[in-house]
């Protein structure tokens, strides 16, 4: 029995990684599920850990990996590459479930190439909430925050027009959103996947 592949996406600042980490903390003792650590060409930030948050490689190394077919999906956002290793397909065949926290473009690539992928979109009740969260994080300049807000507005409009994701969660109250995400994971993990 194969594992399940979950794709979780959201605009920057919507809390997707925090929600996924909170839910996996509850599920992992009983389920073979984990977040797939993706690759990036950006520099490591304060508080991040190699192999836990991302695998950090140079832009040249990332491009070499693109050429060799290493990634199942990749994109370039905010002047940096981001990508998911294709060995996730081997993990699934071994019965392990994986969660990819990626952008819309990557989600579209994965959905087109992997059967039975479970797609989850996380949003917030208002764009102002995103801006407040991005400011509070303190990781970006005001100009970078404005750019992220513009991209978020576009992503939210895209999801309204072209419903790419099967499941939708609004992260207004974190505990409620985490419970909703946990229920989706549990429901999907209970389904058998045979290939």
Query: pTM for the full model?
Result: 0.87
pLDDT at 27 over 80: yes
Residue range 49-58: mean pLDDT, rounded? 94
**Confidence (pLDDT) at 194:** 47
| Domains of the chain in sequence order | 5-187 (3.40.50.300)
Cα separation, 5 vs 28, whole angstroms? 15
Q: Where are the beta strands (DSSP E) in the chain?
A: 5-9, 33-35, 39-40, 55-56, 71-77, 80-85, 97-101, 118-123, 167-170
Cβ(22)–Cβ(134) below 8 Å: no
Fill in the DSSP letter of residue 143: H
Contact 38, 131 (CB under 8 A): no
Mean predicted confidence (pLDDT) in 98-121:
92
pLDDT at 167 over 70: yes
Indicate the average pLDDT of the chain.
89
Band of pLDDT at residue 192, cut at 50, 70 and 90: low
Provide the pLDDT confidence category of residue 195 given band limits of 50, 70 and 90: very low
DSSP letter for each residue of 62-109: HHHHHHTT-EEEEEEETTEEEEEETTHHHHHHTT-EEEEE--HHHHHH
Note the pLDDT of residue 19: 96
């Amino acid at each position: 029995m194969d594992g399940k592949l979950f794709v979780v996406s959201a605009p920057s600042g919507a809390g997707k990684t925090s929600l996924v980490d909170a839910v996996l903390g509850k599920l992992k003792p009983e389920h073979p599920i984990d977040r797939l650590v993706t690759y990036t060409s950006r520099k490591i930030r304060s508080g991040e850990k190699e192999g836990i948050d991302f695998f950090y490689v140079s832009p040249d190394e990332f491009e070499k990996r693109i050429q060799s077919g290493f990634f199942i999906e990749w994109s370039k956002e905010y002047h940096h590459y981001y990508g998911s290793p294709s060995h996730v397909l081997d993990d699934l065949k071994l019965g392990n479930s994986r969660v990819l926290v990626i952008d819309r473009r990557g989600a579209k690539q994965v959905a087109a190439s992997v059967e039975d992928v479970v797609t989850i979109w996380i949003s917030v009740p208002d764009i102002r909430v995103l801006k407040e969260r991005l400011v509070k994080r303190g990781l970006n300049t005001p100009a970078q925050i404005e750019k992220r807000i513009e991209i978020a507005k576009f992503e939210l409009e895209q999801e309204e027009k072209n419903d790419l994701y099967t499941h939708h969660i609004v992260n207004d109250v974190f505990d409620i959103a985490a419970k909703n995400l946990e229920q989706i994971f549990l429901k999907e993990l209970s389904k058998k996947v045979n290939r």
